[in-house]
Amino acid sequence: MITYAIYFTFSCFGAGLLMNLYKIATAKGVGDRVLALDTMVINAIALMILYGLALGTEVFFEAAMIIAMLGFVSTVAYARFLLRGNIIE
């Protein structure tokens, strides 16, 4: 029964990734694209954790934490670039 739940959540998060990809392609503002990219990172993290649950390994949880930190730093850096025009002062 848990395998069916994992397959269902894989399909839900996969659909979410496709919707975010559509939003990136059709967004009018740059801020909307940044938010869609950040949401894609969150969905990718969720997919990695689900894959780790499906395989029963802990390696994917550690990789998800690293990707979460990189996603946060990249979102902050891109927002700072949009606001100030430079990243490093």
Is the pLDDT reported for residue 88 higher than 80?
Answer: no
Q: What's the pLDDT score for residue 12?
A: 95
Cα Rg of the chain, angstroms: 15
Contacts of residue 16, defined as CB under 8 A and 6 or more positions apart, other chains included, come to 39, 43
Model pLDDT for residues 33-66, shown as the tens digit of each residue: 989 999 999 999 999 999 999 998 989 999 999 9
> What pTM does this model have?
0.84
Number of folded domains that form the chain: 1
| pLDDT tens profile 10-35 | 999 999 999 999 999 999 988 889 89
Domain membership flag for residue 76: yes
* pLDDT at residue 87, rounded to an integer: 67
Domain of residue 45: give its range: 2-84
Residue 6 lies in a domain: yes
Three-state SS for 86?
Answer: coil
